[in-house]
Structure 1
Amino acid sequence: MKKSVVALLALSVVCIAFAAIFVKLSAAPASIISMYRMLFAGILLSPIVFEYRRELSRPSIKEWWALMAAGLFLAMHFGFWFASLQLTSVASSTVILALQPLVAMVAAYLLYKEKVSARMLTAVFTSFFGVVLISWGDFSFTDLSAIFGNMLSFLGVMAVVAYFLIGQNTVRNLTHWVYSFLVFSIAGIFLLIYNIVTGTELIRYESREWGLFLLLALLPTIAHVIFNYLLNELSPATVSMAMLLEPVGASFLAYFILSESLTLLQVVGGLIVLTGVYFFLFSQHRERHARTL
């Protein structure tokens, strides 16, 4: 692997790992953080989308409904995940978020009857056992907020899987840039409506908060741009496996920046989850490779 590719891969992991830290540092409501994360990301993508503006007339009425649904689920994903980060540790929340490919496999099996190998099932059960250990490590008779935070993180996983399933199976005639711009913007509008209906303050926040909102949109967006570029150099499986370093990087940053500590059960559970997800992605890659031979 080229040194430049390794450097870009490392940069993307660091960028995306900072997302959880910025949420933790913010004192704003989770729905506000999520809203500006989406709206600012849409604004950042708009110069690129301008070059592809003709695509905006391509979606049919059915596809616009799919885009609306995808945007709604994406809004729910960030709303749930950011709320979870305000209740549980960065390590627990981000590790549970790593379950996304496993939940996607289960959903694809239930909805589209896609075949599941014994290796993949073993990876699923291994990872869910790790999640149980994480939640057990967060358990306290005096404070159950961390458990609730873990549940919100898992709801965030369910929402993002629904978002990906809609995008992969409904809207096929848009470039990644235009699709991302549309669903980011739609998600931001849904969150804006939610905040207006619930009477949440929209604009009166300190400059520090606005800086965090912008950084939260900027760094993960840079990470996704790098991931898309690296798909020209690396296989999707390699990029997906590299993304498993996000919980590790986020936990490392949380230890030094937020002084968050880890229990032994959280560490063991996190390692089990990441091991299960790794073997799932590895098995998936091997099966796809075998089918192409």
Structure 2
Amino acid sequence: MNRKTPPIPVSLLMIIGIVAISFSSIFIKWSTAPVSVQGMYRLLFTSLLMLPFARSYSGAVFVLRKKDWIMLVSSGVMLALHFLLWMGSLKYTSVASSTMIMALEPVFIMLGAYFLFREKTALSALLAMSIAIAGVMFIGWGDVGISADNLKGDLLSIGGTAAVAVHMLIGQKVVVRMPSYLYSLIVFISASIVFAIYNLVMGIPFFAYPPREWGIFLLLAVVPTVFGHILFNWLLQYVSATTVSMNILGEPVGASILAYLLLGEQLTGLQWAGSMLVMSGLAAYLYSGRKKSKEKIVSVLSNAS
């Protein structure tokens, strides 16, 4: 299939996107606000930035069925749960451990696709998945040697990865009936409302934060979301979904480097070994010759994290 050529080289845009999403965990670490507040304003500000460009998609809203709205809201709930758990994990474990576990998104999606849709996977992909999972076990083992809190952070990251996998699988079913831009906007708004309800119920203040925190909320919306995930979404019209999905490998590497430079975080020997296994397993998985249906699943990965 012939693809259009973007006005800016794809390689440069991919680098910009990877650097942008790598800053997500750094901003979260810098903030002292509750993660539910960070998640709420990240999604709310992103939605406000997207709204001016949504007018051309307004007609598609009126043809959505009741079932579509249920799935959209469900996707928003799972996205909010993903942010709550994954962002929460960064309060306990290192950036490298958390983002390396989050890189297992395609593996979780593959498992979900099998159990929900009975989609089969090649043996080579299963072997690659086993290598990546073994790497996560090494990371967890290394974190146990540091503190129980680090292991708690790893478990939260695993829960966040499972939640975003469900979010992606729901999106796979809905996005075929509506523009991806509109899908993302509705899901972001839904997730921000879920966070607002959560904060209200838990008695977490909405506005009692210094200017520095508001700056971080805005940075979370602009840098990793607009210049990261929305940019990757836009790139799907120029490159294959498999190429875009390789940002999964770029984020933990970029985030770990930034965490070392900006936060002074370092990895233990076991964590390094686990990280190398995760990266090797994911690289093998993404290049293992999956079926076209698997590529379609991965194509919606750029809507989250």
Superposed pair shares fold, TM > 0.5: yes
Q: Which moved more, 1:67-76 or 1:170-179?
A: 170-179
Partner of 1:73: 78
Given candidates 53, 59, 62, the residue that maps to 2:64 is 59
Given candidates 8, 18, 25, the residue that maps to 1:20 is 25
Shift of 1:229: 2.9
Contact map agreement 1:48 1:177 (CA 8 A) in 2: no
In the TM superposition, what whole-angstrom CA distance separates every residue of 1:189-225 from its partner, at most 9, and x where no partner exists?
A: 0010000000011111010000000100111222123
In the TM superposition, what whole-angstrom CA distance separates every residue of 1:259-280 from its partner, at most 9, and x where no partner exists?
A: 1111111111011111111111
RMSD: 1.8
Change (3 A) 1:284 1:47: farther
Partner of 1:247: 252
Given candidates 152, 159, 165, the residue that maps to 1:161 is 165
3-state SS of paired residue (2:68)? helix
Paired AA for residue 201 in structure 1: P
Partner of 1:172: 176
Q: 2:235 and 2:77 mapped to 1: Cα distance? A: 28
Q: Which moved more, 1:242-251 or 1:209-218?
A: 242-251
Paired AA for residue 217 in structure 2: F
Paired AA for residue 219 in structure 2: L
Q: 2:106 and 2:152 mapped to 1: Cα distance? A: 22
Please give the residue correspondences for 1:28-177 in structure 2 after superposition, counting only pairs within 5 Å.
Answer: 28-140=33-145, 143-177=147-181
Contact map agreement 2:86 2:157 (CA 8 A) in 1: yes
Paired AA for residue 30 in structure 1: V
TM-score (norm 2): 0.90
**Matched length:** 288
**What are the ranges of 5 or more consecutive residues in structure 2 without an aligned counterpart?**
296-305
TM-score (norm 1): 0.94
1:7 lines up with 2:12 in the alignment? yes
Shift of 1:27: 0.3
3-state SS of paired residue (1:283)? coil
Paired AA for residue 286 in structure 2: L
3-state SS of paired residue (1:127)? helix
Q: 2:60 and 2:45 mapped to 1: Cα distance? A: 21
1:202 lines up with 2:206 in the alignment? yes
In the TM superposition, what whole-angstrom CA distance separates every residue of 1:21-56 from its partner, at most 9, and x where no partner exists?
A: 000000001111111111111111111112212222
Q: 1:161 and 1:216 mapped to 2: Cα distance? A: 21
Change (3 A) 1:288 1:68: closer
Q: 2:177 and 2:141 mapped to 1: Cα distance? A: 45
Paired AA for residue 227 in structure 1: F
Partner of 2:302: none
Paired AA for residue 195 in structure 2: L
Q: 1:108 and 1:172 mapped to 2: Cα distance? A: 16
Contact map agreement 2:16 2:227 (CA 8 A) in 1: no
Shift of 1:232: 2.8
3-state SS of paired residue (1:172)? helix
Q: Which moved more, 1:237-246 or 1:63-72?
A: 237-246
Q: Which segments of structure 1 move beyond 6 Å, counting only runs of 4 or more?
A: none
**What are the ranges of 5 or more consecutive residues in structure 1 without an aligned counterpart?**
none
Paired AA for residue 180 in structure 2: H
Contact map agreement 1:127 1:272 (CA 8 A) in 2: yes
Q: 1:233 and 1:256 mapped to 2: Cα distance? A: 33
Shift of 1:233: 2.8
Contact map agreement 1:15 1:223 (CA 8 A) in 2: yes
Q: 1:65 and 1:7 mapped to 2: Cα distance? A: 38
Contact map agreement 1:67 1:171 (CA 8 A) in 2: no
Partner of 2:237: 232
